[in-house]
Amino acid sequence: MKDTLTITLLITILVIVLQQRKSTVAKSSPKSRRMVLDSCALIDGRIVELARLGFVPDELVVPEFILHELQMLADGNDSHKRERARFGLDVVRELQDSTHANVVIDHSVTTNQPTDDKLVALAKKLGAGLYTTDYNLNKVADIEGVHVMNVNELAQQLRPVALPGERKAVKILQKGSNPKQGVGYLDDGTMVVVDDGIKYINKLVEVEVTRIHQTMAGKMLFANVIERPAASQTRTATHKQQRPERTQQAAIAGRLRNPRRKRTSQVG
């Protein structure tokens, strides 16, 4: 009887251990992630480079209705939209040919809802994220609980951070919202508001960062112009420093030209 109970207990323990190991393996091997692409993300084109660098999920889903939208734009009369749509279709083909991304064309959504609603519904149905550069779609997806990847926000967050006290070279391009302010931009597009910078419009000046302000559009820097001494003042100071030396040189030259004057004074 005791042997039977012991065997039963060992079997029970073994079953529990195997179930725990199975659960651990399942957690360590998550399902492949998915991300739905919208038309503006395809037209943007940066998804190709992100895929090449490995910064995209395992599976990229391109809805069939997005392809139809791009096709309609590519066949339209607006030359600008036509070129952009054709580029978006080329991006889909490039992603399909890439070894860094697995592209799936989804044919499941056939409703007559607006495109944004269909994108959000498809992402929720697949348990996928949404890749877009559309600001309004981004907000709607957030409200609906859909994870959004916006490459514009990514680019904003990856801009170099400028700390107060750092010096930057900025060309003042326009006046600011407040009197006497000038506005310029760094090479990465960061806006710099320069106090008392309106008088330097269309000039390249050196500024010192005073504070950083984070906005929905990205970081904004506030700075002051580093004043340089005026060229006329510099020349005057240099002239004053050189004047005694020049006077002494002139006196020596005069004595060399009139040696008799010195002898006469000595004889007298």
Contact 198, 183 (CB under 8 A): no
Does the structural domain 34-157 have CATH classification 3.40.50.2300?
no
Say yes or no to pLDDT of 153 above 50. yes
User: Distances from the Cα of 64 to the Cαs of 61, 129, 150, 161, in angstroms?
Assistant: 9, 17, 21, 41
Q: What percent of the chain shows pLDDT beyond 70?
A: 69
Q: Are 100 and 54 in contact (CB under 8 A)?
A: yes
Average pLDDT over residues 62-68: 95
Reply yes or no on domain 167-225 having CATH 2.40.50. yes
Structure confidence at residue 152 (pLDDT): 76
Per-residue confidence at 151, pLDDT binned at 50, 70, 90?
confident
The 10s digit of each residue's pLDDT in 8-19 is 656 666 666 666
| Backbone φ/ψ region at 145: left (φ over 0), alpha (ψ -120 to 50), beta | left
Does residue 28 carry a pLDDT above 80?
A: no
H helix or E strand, kind and range, residue 193: strand 191-195
Angle 77-80-81 from CA coordinates, rounded to 5°: 70
Torsion angle (degrees, nearest 10) of CA 115, 117, 122, 123: 110
At 42-52, the pLDDT tens digits run: 999 999 999 98
Query: Which of 65-69, 105-109, 125-129, 233-237 is predicted least confidently?
Result: 233-237
Domains of the chain, residue spans: 34-157, 167-225
